[in-house]
């Protein structure tokens, strides 16, 4: 009978040996779940703001849209012959504006070419004068798109390149619409060489 007692003991030992890996796997999975939960809580868990606190609304910002014009090379005005080579990118907000610019591209290029060739070297030497040129180009482009963009006041030339909105009494029925966020909202000079 001793042999009968030894056999069940060996059977229990082999059964315990089979249960042991399953138990270890279960404990390891439990440890991973608890560790993952703790990591989520401490690293990724966002707390709720207090009931009286004002919530900051995220601003909906879209990627800027740029329209690149082919580089311009013009003779500058004046007694001495100088050349200006300038690269221009137009920043727009409305995704339909690039199509409008393509439709009016010959007129836009003509207008910008005439504007650039009317300048003298002395008119383009300072940063303020370049900002004034940017505002004039924006006004010329938007005028062809049917958008009224008045030229900035001389004291505001160095501060900002976007034109100020027109006064309410200056807008007449049937004229171009005025909007700072319409048409070309910014003109970027991507290259600027005077020879």
Residue 51 within a domain? no
* Number of domain units in the chain: 1
Residue 26 within a domain? no
Q: What is the pLDDT along the chain (195 residues), one digit of tens a residue?
A: 555 555 555 555 555 556 677 788 888 888 888 887 777 777 766 655 555 555 555 555 677 899 999 999 999 998 899 999 999 999 998 888 899 999 999 999 999 999 999 999 999 999 999 999 999 999 999 999 888 766 555 544 444 444 443 333 333 333 444 455 678 899 999 999 999
- SS3 track for 104-173: CHHHHHHHHHHHHHCCCHHHHCCHHHHHHHHHHHHHHHHHHCCEECCCCCHHHCCCCCCCCCCCHHHCCC
Which domain range does residue 167 map to? 65-194
């Amino acid at each position: 009978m001793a042999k009968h007692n030894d056999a069940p003991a060996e059977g229990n030992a082999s059964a315990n040996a089979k249960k042991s890996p399953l138990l270890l796997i279960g404990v390891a999975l439990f440890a991973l779940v608890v560790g993952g939960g703790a990591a989520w809580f401490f690293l990724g868990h966002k707390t709720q703001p207090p009931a009286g606190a004002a919530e900051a609304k995220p601003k909906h910002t879209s990627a800027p849209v740029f329209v690149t014009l082919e580089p311009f090379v013009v003779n500058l005005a004046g007694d001495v012959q100088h050349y200006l080579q300038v690269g221009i990118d137009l920043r727009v907000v409305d995704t339909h504006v690039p199509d409008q610019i393509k439709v009016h591209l010959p007129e836009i290029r003509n207008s910008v070419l005439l504007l650039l060739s009317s300048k003298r070297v002395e008119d383009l030497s300072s940063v303020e004068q370049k900002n004034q040129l940017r505002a004039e180009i924006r006004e010329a482009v938007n005028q062809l798109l049917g958008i009224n963009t008045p030229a900035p006041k001389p004291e505001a030339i160095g501060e900002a390149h976007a034109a100020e909105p027109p006064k309410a009494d200056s807008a007449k029925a049937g004229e171009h619409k005025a909007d700072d966020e319409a048409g070309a909202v910014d003109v970027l000079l991507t290259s600027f060489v005077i020879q």
